[in-house]
Amino acid sequence: MDGDIIGIIDDAKEKALNNQDLERNVLRRFLELDPFSKECQYLGETARDVARKTLGNKGRVGSSIGVDLRPCTMNCKFCSLGDKWGLVRDNYDMPPEQIIEIIKNLTSKGFHQFTLRTTEFYSLDDLCVLSKKVRSSVKGSYILTVNTGELTTDDANRLYDAGFNAAYHTVRLGEGKDTPFDPEVRINTMRAISKSNLKLSCGLDPIGVEHTNEEILDKLELFRSLNPMAICTMKRINVKGTPFENVPEIDNMRHAQIAAIIRMASGGRNMVAAHPANLQALKWGANHISVETGANPRDSDSYMHSNDTFGHEEAVRMIHDAGYELGVSEDFKRIAPY
């Protein structure tokens, strides 16, 4: 192995264990590694050790629930809900009773992190009503995260008062090119959430083969400035019928490499998620994966169904296969107090 890069990884580990920021040029060196090289394997194993030592070797399985399904006029090129692609033609809202039953069933089994995911223009009032119904019907200690459209700080505080603990929002790779959104609008929402009572969760997504190391580094520097409770690494799924259908996807090793780099850059300051669930990413420092139910912008199947191919039992096995213990809500309150 290259002794120079091994020394850089070892030095970075000491900083990560003390929650110190790594310099951009160090992160660039890590991104330039061949994901299949021995040096990258060493980086991944080092990142996993950082997760072990800073997070008590605890992993988490989240549950992401697609609340509504409808064609979206924003037509982001990677999203199956785009009106132009014609993959989704109907409007559907999952009944609150079904959402409540899903969360009630999963909390009874020890799961404690739930994301309610909506389309871009879902009503803020309806979201508040839904959250209040969930909280009144499902007691206990669990994190309720919202993933919806643009928000002001006042909007975010309304959601907090209604029962949400956190919000997922990000400026995506290819924003303004593969989407019609102004990147600054997305960043402003992230800043608004950070200034609110909600905790911010964000993500490096959707990662495609065309995204450069410099683009990735720009996003990581932005995320670090906002001190999120979680950073997700999301591989782009190139759905048939969307403009990306014939573009290759990044492989799981590159996905895992990026997760390892985010762990090294974050130390124990936040959760690092890998989506779709990727065992190699967990073995290289990610400590959160999610199971999806309902509407999904990465699927051409428009039915509001549970994910039949990857469920909670399989997710728990994957956490254990990566050497983690499955954490309970109390294990993560240092990162995500609620």
- Digit-coded pLDDT (tens) for 34-69: 999 999 999 999 999 999 999 999 999 999 999 999
136 falls in which pLDDT band (50, 70, 90)? very high
How much is the pTM? 0.96
Flag whether 310 is in a domain. yes
Flag whether 325 is in a domain. yes
From CA 286, how far away is CA 338, in angstroms rounded?
Answer: 22
How much is the pLDDT for 307?
A: 46
Flag whether 307 is in a domain. yes
Domain CATH number, residue 241: 3.20.20.70
The distance from CA 53 to its chain's CA centroid, rounded to whole angstroms, is 22
190 dihedral zone (left: phi>0; alpha: psi -120 to 50; beta): alpha
Residue 85: φ, ψ to 5°: -80, -20
Flag whether 152 is in a domain. yes
How many domains, the chain? 1
pLDDT > 70: what percent of the chain? 96
**Helix 252-266 and helix 24-31, axial crossing angle in degrees, nearest 10:** 160
Flag whether 79 is in a domain. yes
